[in-house]
Chain A
Amino acid sequence: MKLMVSFSRKKVSEPIIARAVMDTGVLINVERARIEPTEGDVLIDVPDESARTVCMKMRELGATVSVLRDAIIRDEDECVDCGACISVCPQEAFSFDSDWKLSLDQPRCVLCGRCIQACPHGALSLQK
């Protein structure tokens, strides 16, 4: 399961990911991180059964955590199945099915946003 962990330096002073791994014993996979001087967001992937434990630990450490499901929204009316998104995705989340219809494998997405810009039809957006 993918979790978006957001924190600010004011509330979180210690290395939060490392602390969560040590305290929970759960192996956390960092998929994308944006660290600014005063704040940061980290997208992590954890085993489904451990998600609750990790969530609670992160919150205890002062971060806000949201569960990501269907992070990229595809507007089926706007999409024409051209495939402009396929090769720009670093995670290979997009592909054609046998009928040349575009399919999106949500769990692979790491929210880099490249496909949103590459879509000529404005059919892709980020879930708020």
Chain B
Amino acid sequence: MRDKYSTMEKSIDEINTRIHDGNARVVTAEEMPDIVAELGEEAALREVDVVTTGTFGAMCSSGAFFNFGHADPPIRMERVWLNDVEAYGGIAAVDAYIGATQQSTTQGDRYGGAHVIEDLISGRSIELRAISRGTDCYPRRTVTTNLLLEDFNDATMLNPRNAYQCYNAATNSTDRILHTYMGTLLPNCGNVSYSGAGVLSPLANDPTYRVIGSGVPIFLGGAQGMIVGEGTQSSPATGFATLMTTGDLTRMSPDYIRAATFQGYGVTMYVGLGVPLPVTDLTVVRSTAVRDEDLTTGIVDYGVPYRDRPTLRRISYAELKSGRIELDGEEVKTSSLSSYRKAREVAETLKNWVEMGSIDLALPTRRVDRTRRTHPMRETNLVPRVREVMETKVVCITEDEPITEAALKLLRGETNHLPVLNGDHRLVGIVTTYDVTKAVARPDDRVAVRDVMTRKVVRTTPEEAVDIAAQKLDRNNISALPVVDPQNRVIGMLTALNLGKLLGGRWKA
């Protein structure tokens, strides 16, 4: 009889009793909105006991603690490699933590910590290599051995930052292709990529953190895991909470833990994660009734190489999932990076676990601090700006002058680059020693600088961070950048040589 819930609240004990009796009504977060719409909130509270959520996407901030057992003679491992991927060994004798994004010393971004974890879960053997300086109590200096997951004493996944409440969608306004952790971003806002399961997303279904918090049992990588508490960088006050999660690696499945590589970014790990939400009161009913139409995120321009990237517009998950959205009057295709099919699988599997009574629900033992917000790094040493390293004595030429004059100036100025100015002293091009040499070697009707100059000049500004300027040199395979003021007047030159002095020889001409 359901009328005993007349108090508009259900205790977690009541819900667990129903689960054990096999009477619990369990639905996924995708099914809940229609149920609430049909029955109304109060009837939905009486009717539904548990709402399951799920997500399956790239969660870079993941990894695992291992204990390998003691060797004989014993070793206190100082540096540890698993299949040539370094694990952190600064946690006593035979323990180590492997991070998902750590890359192999021999295979680069094709193999990393995530692959080690996936290989272990899949039953494949991995090579452990460790070194030590040797002590009286741990005399051994090196060890190499092949291990299966079952040979470990412990293998505990611990993910510092999973299950973002919300994540930005990404686009790219520059004229070149970008390779990011948000996937391939085509030039001129040619596509938009997004991550997250929307209506099925765990934290999106409990934005007030009523039933999500420390100690809550979850689905993690195919096994039963637990929420440790708030994740690192969690920012509930701004709607960007995260979770720290843990689970027994030995019980996980490669169906829900997948190593991956984003081209140009590196290794990451796809993790399947789901939280069962006990429907204890009307607040939970209302928050689990959320639909893709109600969940919004910002489309952020990853073409801007700074921390605070501009948001081009707000967008709902319903629009993102439709495959096409409108951006600045143009139709743009969208790609998800997380798998909605797998997210559904997680939520369905979790639903099954609850229905079978194989998972006990619990309320948080410590609640999320809703006032907490993340803040940017406090930088005591400011990143050097172009102004500090640029050459201020610049030899320029005007576009009307003859090529022979350019040759003389290059020779006299002991430089390889001449910024070219128009009559108003604005930058309109650049000529290099190579351009002049080519014009001399193959004489035709080209006589003035404007005939041989490069018109599309890659430039920098005095306030630009040198790292960004260095990236411009690298990407365009050039060795100097004119520094311009807002009126496009040349106030300096930045050469590979200037950067070389600053960055320790990495940018030698």
Which A residues contact B (CB, under 8 angstroms)? 80-88, 92, 95-96, 99-101, 114, 117-118, 120-122
Contacts and interface: CB of A to CB of B under 8 A. Distances in A.
B113 to A, nearest CB: 15
B184 A82 contact: no
A22 to B, nearest CB: 37
Nearest to B191: A87
A85 to B, nearest CB: 7
Contact of B258 (A99, A117, A121): A121
Nearest to A101: B341
Nearest to B256: A80
B56 interface: yes
B168 interface: no
Interface in B313-368: 323, 332-342, 344
B183 A118 contact: yes
A37 to B, nearest CB: 19
B89 interface: no
Contacts of B29: none
B238 interface: no
Nearest to A118: B184
Interface residues of B, number: 29
Nearest to A122: B261
Interface stretch (B145-153, B262-270, B273-281, B403-411): B262-270
B252 interface: no
Contacts of B340: 81, 83, 96, 100
B338 A82 contact: yes
Contacts of A88: 183-184, 186, 191, 335
Interface centre among A87, A95, A100, A121 (most CB of B within 10 A): A87
Pick the most buried of A83, A95, A96, A99: most chain B CB atoms within 10 A of its CB: A83
Give the most central of A80, A99, A114, A121: most B CB within 10 Å: A80
B261 A120 contact: yes
B193 interface: yes
Contacts of A101: 341
B48 interface: no
Given A80-B339, A81-B342, A120-B58, A87 B262 contact: no
Contact of A120 (B56, B260, B332): B260
Contact of A87 (B57, B334, B339): B334
A95 B333 CA distance: 11
26 contacts: A80-B258, A80-B270, A80-B339, A82-B337, A82-B338, A83-B336, A84-B184, A84-B335, A85-B335, A86-B333, A86-B334, A86-B336, A87-B332, A87-B335, A92-B333, A95-B323, A100-B339, A100-B344, A101-B341, A118-B184, A118-B263, A120-B58, A120-B183, A120-B268, A121-B270, A122-B261
B192 interface: yes
B244 to A, nearest CB: 24
A82 B262 contact: no
A96 B262 CA distance: 21
A82 B192 contact: no
Nearest to A88: B184
B193 A81 contact: no
A80 B257 CA distance: 11
A87 B192 contact: yes
Interface string B55-81: 011100000000000000000000000
Interface in B192-218: 192-193
A92 B56 CA distance: 24
Given A84-B335, A87-B192, A95-B323, 14 more contacts: A84-B183, A86-B333, A86-B336, A87-B191, A87-B193, A87-B333, A88-B183, A92-B333, A96-B340, A120-B58, A120-B261, A120-B262, A120-B337, A122-B261
Given A80-B258, A100-B341, A86 B335 contact: yes
Contact of B193 (A80, A84, A95): A84
Interface in B421-437: none
Given A120-B58, A120-B268, A99 B341 contact: yes
Interface string B34-65: 00000000000000000000001110000000
Contacts of B268: 120
B323 A86 contact: yes
A93 to B, nearest CB: 12
Contacts of B58: 120
